[in-house]
Structure 1
Amino acid sequence: MAAVARILDWPVDEADDLPLALWDAISIARAVKGVANADFQVSGVEIDSRDVLPGDLFFALKGENMDGHRFLEMAFAKGAAAAVVDRPVDYPHILVSDTTAALEALAKASRARTSAQIVGVTGSVGKTGVKEAIFAALDRSSRGAAHRSVKSYNNHVGVPLSLARMPSRSRFGIFEMGMNHSGEIAALTRQVRPHVAVVTTIAPAHIEMLGSEEAIADAKGEIFEGVEPGGVAIIPADSPHYARLKAKAEQYFLTVVGFGRSAHADVRLLDTIAAANGGSLVTADMGDRRVCYTIAEPGEHWVMNSLAVMAAVRAAGGDLGAAGVALADMAGLAGRGARVEIEAQDGGHALLIDESYNANPASMRATLAQLGKTAARRRIAVLGSMKELGEHGPAFHAALAQPLTDAHVDFAVLVGDEMKALADELGKSPVAELGKPVRFAHCQNPAEARQALAEFGVESGDAILVKGSNSVGLGALVKALAAKEA
């Protein structure tokens, strides 16, 4: 009888009344002000026909050089349940006048229907890694009820797509927001409407478009404009732009939480020591308590990132213990710190550090510093051009000479036109401040870089860092090295 009573007294959760399907035809049509030609349910949302999974809703977006309607047959062949289109088609569909506007409308409806705590993440460096770490922590503490933007879906298409994919039963949502022009994050944050806004750091990424670090700080600070009333702004206390960011957040009456080493930091680093797994053991003061946890990711930058993660998890109502476990479990992301063992030319094994997705002056210095701390027989750095630096580019590239020397790099492969400034700097006669000259090769593309590596010879015990802006294409080099392609 007691067992029956327990079943009858099963706690009621409001989420139990929510639909299991992500969207149905009626709710989509209502949200996008379109007309459905059939009754259907969908389990996902996709804009790329190559990535469609069975049950997806396919948005046939139109751009300057591409029309998604051309790929409807492929989308349905891969299992799409329906499509959003701007013309009648012979498939289950929602008819609208503008498919891009419809995606934004569905995103707005998704945000309106959720009761989840929403975290928005931006910053010049580290935003994807921090977003993934916050997600891992909140997903663990909510037992799978967290949602986040995948990959680097952080622009005017990626953000609404990520919102539209958020299940109504989510307890947490974590969204990344990027920009290269003023005003872009302001538009994105009003879609996301976060309860917690995180700025990881301010650095001279996209300085070509914005002109100064102060302007970059202002552009990143736009994230505070969309934060829900009573929300929290998490900002880097050690940044020279801390006061600027803090003032911006306070304009919107947000609670400001600073993280870092500074005495005024609300989440303050007390101590960090190297951990046996290559990461760090961190002790931090969170005001009313001290926490100690391990992070698997190596490097000083990840120590700082972890403080932002802890601050965000606490502000969102997550579990700090689960956050600590998640940080200890996290492996590097492909293109953003993944470490893989590859076959060396002498039959042994070498370490490949994949940082091929992005690069700016701050992240270059940080990863080179970590390379210098990595135990290795020899250290090799394959560095691709840093983009969007404008007139500041030559100076920023040349300035990498000292970090290369400090990291005791034995061989540097420099890829791209912009790297000529660094090649010129390294090619000068040895000077006192540079110490031992770094051996290097300057290449125009990844194919030439691969040849330069082959000629140098990758041997057992080597550590190879591959880092550059995504457009340089060093990801292909990483795949070739990892796959041992001929």
Structure 2
Amino acid sequence: MNAVLEWPVEPDDALGTALWTAGDIARATGGHVEGGEFAVAGATTDSREVMEGDLFIALKGEGTDGHRFVDGALLRGAAGALVAQPIAAPHVLVSDTTAALDALGRAARARLSDEAQVIGVTGSAGKTGVKEALFAALDRSSRGQAHRSVKSYNNHVGVPLSLARMPARTRFGVFEMGMNHAGELSALTRLVRPHVAVVTTIAPAHIGHFSGEAAIAAAKAEIFEGLEPGGTAIIPADNPHAELLARVAAQYAARVIRFGTAADADVRLIDALPTTTGGTLVTAEFSGAAGMQRKLCYTVSQPGAHWAVNSLAVMAAVAAVGGDLGAAGLALAELPDLAGRGARHRVVAPAGDGSGRALLIDESYNANPASMQATLAQLAATPARRRIAVLGAMKELGAGSDAYHAELAAPIIAADMAHVLLVGAEMAALAVALGKTPPGPLAAAIDFVHVPDAAAAAEILATGDWAPQGGDAILIKGSNSVGLGALVKALTRPEPTAREGRTPTGDV
């Protein structure tokens, strides 16, 4: 009876409950505790994001010095700071806070148990969605013991910060890694040291910094350099650079798994059917190379062929780390929309079909030729009274920028658009292409307008026939620097109530 009543002893019971103590931070970074001991529950480099009990890390950048914001961070509740100059509050003093952040990230990775599994995700498109889906799948099966990088914290600051935020009890860690120059992923993956490395796709994103797509593929393949012994590489079978990725992966990985629709894919898409709720019903086949021989059927909450294919990468990674595929399927079915990356909103819209609502698809955070074409194809498949696209410029495309923008004319025409609003100087090439490209034999000419910036786009969308109407489907997509996120916020802002200034009749 006594044995039944004994509380089970777990290997991590000896671990502290704080994310870091001041002593832990000092040992990891080679710093010194000053102003008294402290413990923290989180970590941030942005004083505006400080929460009660956080560690504020004062980084020195090209434009500003984080030490200027230490007082504000402490006022917001920071329990201590990691600094390179003494302050009148509890802190760990180091000679270089950027190097200290890297060291703290390495220490967080090193303290994980031998059973913990880490996944790294990169790619020219889809990496944030895959990262979020993997986290949802593994967090569900581990009952809250999964960790991931938030937002798009995928660079030389975001990756070590995401590592530093990882609790010692983590069973599954999922980290997004990005790059726009060769050599960047090589450094990041050696910090993360993944057991599984996923490349979602290769496309001409940031191609202005590279000699071509093959060079991008080689730079993305750097993620395999940090694989732990016995690790797994997961690559897109349908991509033209699959063989290049496979050759590099074979140098570092014990197993290379291909996903996609190709006949040689180890995790292969058999069927993808739209569901009545707007998602996709996926049937996938796993070969023995993927560690099993079976077929799976599951639902992905997000629409689009790209999500169906990317879900295969998610399932392959879950299987590779010994996760629960059943829990993964449930998580994919319930995956919420991602702001700026496909989130769907029902916005108030008069006239039209009388429904009073229009569909707004928010893809305002990022854009490259591959993701732009995939999103336009999904818009073409979306039932709507009218389809309207607000397309912002695609940045960092180098000398081929005009050609990449002009190539969007074909998918725009195929989507049978009522209106197309082009935003940014780079969109001039697409405006020329749309003016020269004849529509199909039964289609009207494309009604498009080219404007210089997001503010001008907002004015157009607020007037006449361009304003959202009931039954419309409106896509807003562009590189983040174009600023179309502000347009999304304006269109999704709740209607004011009578107390806020609107009378019961709707008059102001």
**Could you tell me the TM-score, scaled by structure 1's length?**
0.97
Partner of 1:463: 473
SS at match of 1:205: coil
Query: Could you tell which deviates more after superposition, 452-461 or 230-239?
Result: 452-461
Q: Deviations over 1:1-38 (max 9, x none)?
A: x3x32122x43211111111000011110100001011
Q: Deviations over 1:198-253 (max 9, x none)?
A: 00001110111012110011000000000001000000011111111000011114
Identify which of 358, 373, 381 aligns with 1:373. Answer: 381
Query: Could you tell which deviates more after superposition, 476-485 or 374-383?
Result: 476-485
2:19 corresponds to 1:11: no
Q: Deviations over 1:391-425 (max 9, x none)?
A: 11101101111101111111001000000001111
Structure-2 change in CA distance of 1:169 and 1:243 (3 Å): same
Q: Deviations over 1:247-266 (max 9, x none)?
A: 00111143100001111111
Q: Which amino acid aligns with 1:306?
A: S
Partner of 1:321: 326
Tell me the CA shift for residue 457 of structure 1: 2.1
Q: Deviations over 1:275-302 (max 9, x none)?
A: 1111111111112111110001000000
CA RMSD of aligned residues (A): 1.4
Partner of 2:504: none
Partner of 1:154: 154
Distance 2:436 2:221 in 1: 41
2:142 corresponds to 1:134: no
Query: Could you tell which deviates more after superposition, 119-128 or 249-258?
Result: 249-258
Distance 2:106 2:33 in 1: 19
Q: Deviations over 1:122-144 (max 9, x none)?
A: 00010000000000000000000
Distance 2:440 2:140 in 1: 51
Tell me the CA shift for residue 375 of structure 1: 1.1
Structure-2 change in CA distance of 1:383 and 1:18 (3 Å): same
Distance 2:148 2:494 in 1: 33
Kept in 1, the 8 Å contact 2:409–2:437? The answer is no
Distance 1:15 1:268 in 2: 38
2:102 corresponds to 1:101: no
Q: Which amino acid aligns with 1:277?
A: T
Tell me the CA shift for residue 437 of structure 1: 2.1
Partner of 1:263: 263
Kept in 1, the 8 Å contact 2:227–2:253? The answer is no
SS at match of 1:284: strand
Kept in 2, the 8 Å contact 1:383–1:468? The answer is yes
Kept in 2, the 8 Å contact 1:405–1:436? The answer is no
Identify which of 444, 449, 452 aligns with 1:441. Answer: 449
Partner of 1:304: 309
Structure-2 change in CA distance of 1:431 and 1:52 (3 Å): closer
Identify which of 469, 485, 488 aligns with 1:475. Answer: 485
Kept in 1, the 8 Å contact 2:232–2:253? The answer is no
Kept in 2, the 8 Å contact 1:269–1:284? The answer is yes
Kept in 2, the 8 Å contact 1:25–1:39? The answer is yes
Tell me the CA shift for residue 104 of structure 1: 0.6
Partner of 2:33: 36
Tell me the CA shift for residue 436 of structure 1: 3.5
Partner of 1:292: 297
Q: Which amino acid aligns with 2:283?
A: T
Kept in 2, the 8 Å contact 1:401–1:434? The answer is no
Distance 1:185 1:238 in 2: 23
SS at match of 1:330: coil
Kept in 2, the 8 Å contact 1:45–1:59? The answer is yes
SS at match of 2:12: helix
Query: Could you tell which deviates more after superposition, 310-319 or 436-445?
Result: 436-445
SS at match of 1:221: helix
Matched pairs, number: 483
| Aligned counterparts, 1:213-228, within 5 A | 213-228=213-228
Which aligned runs of 4 or more in structure 1 are off by greater than 6 angstroms? none
Tell me the CA shift for residue 169 of structure 1: 0.3
Tell me the CA shift for residue 331 of structure 1: 2.1
Tell me the CA shift for residue 432 of structure 1: 5.7
Partner of 2:44: 46
Q: Which amino acid aligns with 1:262?
A: A
Kept in 2, the 8 Å contact 1:360–1:387? The answer is yes
| Aligned counterparts, 1:21-420, within 5 A | 21-37=18-34, 38-115=36-113, 116-287=116-287, 288-346=293-351, 348-420=356-428
SS at match of 1:125: coil
Percent of residue pairs bearing the same amino acid type:
63
Query: Could you tell which deviates more after superposition, 376-385 or 279-288?
Result: 279-288
Kept in 2, the 8 Å contact 1:345–1:457? The answer is no
Query: Could you tell which deviates more after superposition, 246-255 or 154-163?
Result: 246-255
Distance 1:325 1:141 in 2: 10
**Could you tell me the TM-score, scaled by structure 2's length?**
0.93
Tell me the CA shift for residue 91 of structure 1: 0.6
Kept in 2, the 8 Å contact 1:365–1:403? The answer is yes
Distance 1:289 1:300 in 2: 22
